Amino acid sequence: MKNKNKTRLKLEDTPSTIISFRYATIALIITLTLMFIIPLVLNYGPGTINTEFDIQMSYISYNMQFLILACIIILGIVSLTKLLLKDIDKWYKMPKSTKYSNTELIKKVRKKCFNLPYIFYIFEITVPSLLAFVVLSVTGSHSVIMISKIILLLFSFTILLAIVSFIFSKNLYDEILASTYIQGADIGFRISLRKRIFIIIFPICLVAILLTALVGYSSSVIEKEDVLFEAYSRLLSDNFSEDKNYTINEINEIANKINLYNETDIIFIMNSDDEIHVINQGTVSNFVHEYMKQLVDVNNGRIYDSYGVDTQGSAIKIKTDNTYCYVGILYNIFSNISLKFLAVDVVFLIFIVCIIINIFGSSLSNSLIQIYEGFKHICDNSDTTTLLPVISNDETGDLVKAFNDIQKLNTNQIEDIQNKQNMLIERERLASLGQMVGGIAHSLKTPIFSISGGIEGLNDLVEEFDSSIEDPTVNNHDMHEIARDMKIWLQKIRNQLSYMSEVITTVKGQAVNLSGNDNVEFTIDELFSHTNILMKHEIQSALVTLNITNQVDDNIILNGNINSLVQVLNNLISNAIQSYNKQPNKSIDLSAKIEGNNITISVRDYGPGIPESVKNKLFKEMITTKGKEGTGLGVFMSYSMIKAKFNGDMKFKTSNEGTEFIIYLPIKN
């Protein structure tokens, strides 16, 4: 494992082995605990389990039933764990050199590590109770009441089993998840924090409620059964004497006269041939019949009816002619009113617990959602000014405080980054401006020479005009010719001055701080004109042709810092020139058109393309292919500028036939 191995796994101790061992151990402990608790809670009669009587009633002894159930559960857990964790074991056994490179297998492993704890959780809660129901149904004529009580008790303990297993196995799953983290990998089905709290807390509360109800009910039954046994034993003793001999008719006559405490109670006689005769209405179960035959004397006349059934009885042994018989009374210990009240109480408590857990889970979840929304707001809007209110003095409150501290730290760091970025941009701009000024100075020589020649031409024409004033040979037509030539020279001077003014204005715009927000309205034609002026000398010096195509109507106006956008195009064109590596007679295409709601500006060269090692990093960091001559700022800063100042985007296409950078500028309606 990459991280520190908390479980200290050995190679032969695969995750499935460890998890199945943990599950099986916990299941065995729970099963053994239940084996001892069930007879106490359900008030089994003495001598009714792990005896011949038990085998006669249930076909299989009590302990054997639990052994079968434990073996089935443990075998099922081990088999299911081995099956479901097969991919995790496969990944774990792989050599370190390859186990972290198999992306598809890692995705499977991660998905299972997220899902399996909850799958096992549900399995452990439901399957044991279903198995117990099947075992109890096929191993004897158990009553519905007895099966219901056992299933309810088993269900409570299997919930504990599931919770403990979930907690003790989750750390191993989390360890594997930590060591196999892949950005963007599927992480299984999503369970919200509120649901996770409900999954863990509600079962614990449910177990507490059910066990409390069962133990409370069992305690009340034990108290009531002692009182009733004493009462009915006294009633039988008052009507029958153990020292006196009775005839069967006398016994029947006395039994018929006994006033029972409840109309549902049953009085019966069992003769020496073990035949039972019920005096009043009702029937006696086979369990009571066998208990009377085998265990009533051992248990001092107390009778039990089936396992976990709240029907007991009292019997007295009476002498008859040369033999004996029993007179017994069966009575119900439970109270329908008590059971209904207990059921309503349990349902009410469960309802209250659900509401409280839901409110608590929602409160905790909302606190974390608030922090999540804060982080998401930062990611979506780059907002570092919003602080979250601290509304609790606990771990969530500490988390909110930490978030606010991060916000403050981010604000300081962003300001520092912006200052450094502006400084880097300024350096790059000044370096570009230095090269530009040299080119502009060269470009201005031609208009300056033209203006100088024009002045000389005008001077000659002025002298000619002056000497012609008193010359009789010069007519009006000649004077108009001189004036026409003077106008031609003046127009040439005006054109050159206009060109120089445009150049100076453009250079002045590029000389300002590019980090400012000098937003103006401009057209694509104006943008391309400024770009062409500033790049003209560099293009001519490289013997490269710049083909400009503008398909955007002049009615479409852009708003922003035109100087920043010119700087971006200059960088891209300069990179395109350098891609030819001083090869002459090459061309660069600068074009603009409308695509949907965007104006796309394209700068394309026909060079060798961008190397593979560079293109994946192009917009992510400052990288250059120019060696010591490059800073890597051009494309990176251009991309940042388009994003930040124009809310646009920049993409590129490259191959061995050339590279095309495409700028997307949204059109504002």
**Residue 414 pLDDT:** 64
Contact predicate 593/552, CB 8 Å: yes
**Residue 590 pLDDT:** 93
Count of C-beta atoms within a 10 Å radius of residue 96 = 8
**Residue 662 pLDDT:** 92
pLDDT tens-digit readout, 325-360 = 899 999 888 766 766 777 787 788 888 888 887 887
| CATH class of the structural domain 240-334 | alpha beta
Domain ranges of the chain: 15-190, 240-334, 384-510, 516-669
- Rounded CA-CA distance 302/329 in Å is 10
**Residue 601 pLDDT:** 93
Tokens of 139: 């191993």
β-partners of residue 660 are 604, 653
pLDDT tens-digit readout, 580-621 = 888 888 999 999 999 988 999 999 999 888 887 777 767 665
- Rounded CA-CA distance 310/287 in Å is 13
**DSSP code, position 667:** P
Question: Which residue is associated with the tokens 């299972």?
Answer: 112
Tokens of 462: 């002025």
pLDDT tens-digit readout, 459-470 = 877 777 777 777
pLDDT tens-digit readout, 487-518 = 887 887 777 777 666 666 666 555 554 445 56
pLDDT at 3 over 50: no
* Nearest one of 337, 413, 407 to 379, comparing CA atoms: 407
**Residue 631 pLDDT:** 38
pTM of the full predicted structure? 0.52
CATH topology assigned to domain 516-669: Heat Shock Protein 90 (3.30.565)
- Rounded CA-CA distance 38/15 in Å is 34
**Residue 448 pLDDT:** 74
Torsional sign, CA 587, 590, 595, 598: positive
pLDDT at 404 over 80: no
Percent of the chain whose predicted confidence (pLDDT) is above 70: 79
- Rounded CA-CA distance 375/20 in Å is 40
- Rounded CA-CA distance 56/288 in Å is 13
Question: Which residue is associated with the tokens 């490259």?
Answer: 654
Q: Which residue pairs from 664-667 have beta carbons closer than 8 angstroms and sit at least 24 positions apart in sequence? A: 664/595, 664/598, 664/599, 664/600, 665/558, 665/598, 665/599, 665/600, 665/601, 666/597, 666/598, 667/556, 667/594, 667/597, 667/598, 667/599
Q: What is the mean pLDDT of the chain?
A: 77
**Residue 641 pLDDT:** 80
pLDDT tens-digit readout, 245-256 = 888 888 888 888
Tokens of 625: 């292919």
H helices present in 139-192, as ranges: 144-179
Percent of the chain whose predicted confidence (pLDDT) is above 90: 5
**Residue 353 pLDDT:** 80
Cβ neighbours of residue 520 closer than 8 Å, sequence gap 6 or more: 559, 560, 561, 562
* Nearest one of 278, 6, 326, 319 to 168, comparing CA atoms: 6
β-partners of residue 85 are none
Contact predicate 14/89, CB 8 Å: yes
Report the relative pairing of strands 276-278 and 658-666 from DSSP bridges: unpaired
pLDDT tens-digit readout, 353-398 = 888 878 877 777 777 777 677 667 666 655 566 666 665 666 666 7
**Residue 547 pLDDT:** 93
pLDDT tens-digit readout, 27-60 = 888 888 888 888 887 778 888 888 888 888 878 8
pLDDT tens-digit readout, 541-586 = 888 999 999 999 888 888 888 888 888 888 888 888 888 888 888 9
**Residue 34 pLDDT:** 80
Contact predicate 568/528, CB 8 Å: no
- Rounded CA-CA distance 414/425 in Å is 16
The model's confidence at residue 629, banded by pLDDT at 50, 70 and 90, is very low
- Rounded CA-CA distance 657/669 in Å is 37
Main-chain phi, psi angles of 526, to 5 degrees? -65, -40
Does residue 19 or residue 373 have the better pLDDT? 19
Contact predicate 268/279, CB 8 Å: yes
pLDDT at 634 over 80: no
**Residue 5 pLDDT:** 42
pLDDT tens-digit readout, 415-433 = 766 666 666 656 655 655 5
Residue-by-residue DSSP string for 413-463: HHHHHHHHHHHHHHHHHHHHHHHHHHHHHHHHHHHHHHHHHHHHHHHHHHH
